[in-house]
Chains A and B, each alone.
Chain A
């Protein structure tokens, strides 16, 4: 009977009830999609930020202070000490546990072309596979160099700036002469990284070393797990393991990772809070109006012998119905929205977490019931005595 009363009463005010349910739906939609997003953002951002390359730099002890990669090169490198070839063997045979990826780099000047057409360029030698793993955002138009081409000269990547300035195209054969000799190269692709590599010629480590007449490497970029304190420990461990080396933490990247995620999540939580407050106000006004409108009806029910508990239960059921309807709608919409956002932001569908449905409905119910608390209390306190008086 009570259920019948509740349903009929809801049906009679369906427009207003629908508006309140929609407000709850939008509220819980945002909260649930933000919750799903926030978790995936934390996950995905960690993955994507991991792509922000090195957070540790291994350099020879005597090198003064290579602040960033862009400051390297041009002269200073040639005079500096280098990391001996043994370094790489050591890293390869017993890599530190926390290190996810690393790549060695050797830098030097070489002359591109001959005669009047020639220009000085920075040549960078690295383990291309390792560099790619360390910096997945490197983009190559054309192809990565084949390690040992079946025919023709060895292959190299040309930075996009060089390609544009000097008019070097994919497939073109170029001549490079450095301290170690002269050789000819085929441009397999144009590299763009947004960093200093854009104005370098990037090739495999061994041929670069022979071109530049070098034995060791200038630095090793490493990507290690963990945040500041853990990184420092890893750095000290590396220094101890590799004599003559100095390990530095690249601070900006390491701290950016955690603070970006925290900021995004904080913003999402704030938005969610505001939205919930708005939804609560909508439910509150609907329930308050309902109670006000139905004061005679409630008085009548009390005069007929309804206990305050029954009256409370009746309005609680109505609020629950609004909350449940809103929650279900919100979940369905939220799922769609989260998928759409996931698709456009991360290029992948987000996994629908199992607890998203109960969580969304719990949020919706909590909003609906909390917002109805005061109106329901009012309804419970309506005095039956006023009914007979016709107030």
Chain B
């Protein structure tokens, strides 16, 4: 099957510093990939490029068959909202909107807000009873689950997560990881940045970044 992500000599420079240095990477559809590496090694940079939030300085990047490294800002935005679901380390929610409205906002930017659908998505992450709560009235784990519901609401081909459990306690981490496991089982492609080898262990494959360079670590069982 054609890979969903193909990176070739992907390079990103920030005025002087090379955050990502000629990275080659392919990810198959339905694969769960973990990205590990020390702080400042370029993990977030790589995820931003795959998530079409940023453009590479050099190299080629194909996501779901589209050469995103060639897209302009406007097309990049459109491609991102059609293709990618994002989960961040900090649970970015709009503070004055309820859990339900936060999910609906993603629907709105994608196409049109559909309350019933959003309600169901929150139900699936176990927040059916927290629809009208503001982010400040939710625990960290609950907030992250809202973010996951939001990332999935538009049925993206690709789910990207940057240390989604980095700010969670054990119990909530398990809850959130359980959700990702389910996503993977449902056939979603997941790319997850993590510091935690245990979390990485759940993935089929782990790659290591060091000073912007990629080193494959655990070869995948499934390929």
Contacts and interface: CB of A to CB of B under 8 A. Distances in A.
Nearest to A11: B96
**Most interface-central of B73, B74, B93, B95 (chain A CB within 10 A):** B95
Given A305-B80, A307-B74, A384-B53, A389 B94 contact: no
B68 interface: no
A308 B78 CA distance: 11
Contacts of A299: 92
A8 B106 CA distance: 17
Contacts of A387: 53, 88, 92
Contacts of B78: 305, 307
Contacts of A389: 44, 48
- SS class of chain B's interface: helix, strand, loop or mixed? helix
Interface residues of B, number: 33
A263 interface: no
A388 interface: yes
Contact of B47 (A2, A297, A388): A388
A223 interface: no
Contacts of A296: 92
B186 to A, nearest CB: 21
Contacts of B109: 301, 304-306, 310
Contacts of A302: 77
A390 B53 CA distance: 13
A384 B86 CA distance: 12
Interface stretch (B97-105, B138-146, B194-202, B205-213): B97-105
B113 interface: yes
Contact of A385 (B54, B89, B105): B54
B106 A385 contact: no
Nearest to B92: A300
A297 B95 contact: yes
Interface string A1-22: 1101100110110000000000
Contact of B44 (A5, A301, A388): A388
Given A9-B96, A299-B92, 13 more contacts: A1-B113, A12-B96, A305-B82, A306-B109, A308-B73, A384-B53, A385-B53, A387-B53, A388-B86, A388-B88, A389-B48, A390-B44, A390-B88
Interface of B: 44, 47-48, 51, 53-54, 73-74, 77-78, 80-82, 86, 88-90, 92-97, 101, 104-106, 108-110, 113, 150, 162
8 contacts: A11-B96, A297-B94, A302-B77, A303-B86, A304-B109, A305-B106, A305-B109, A389-B48
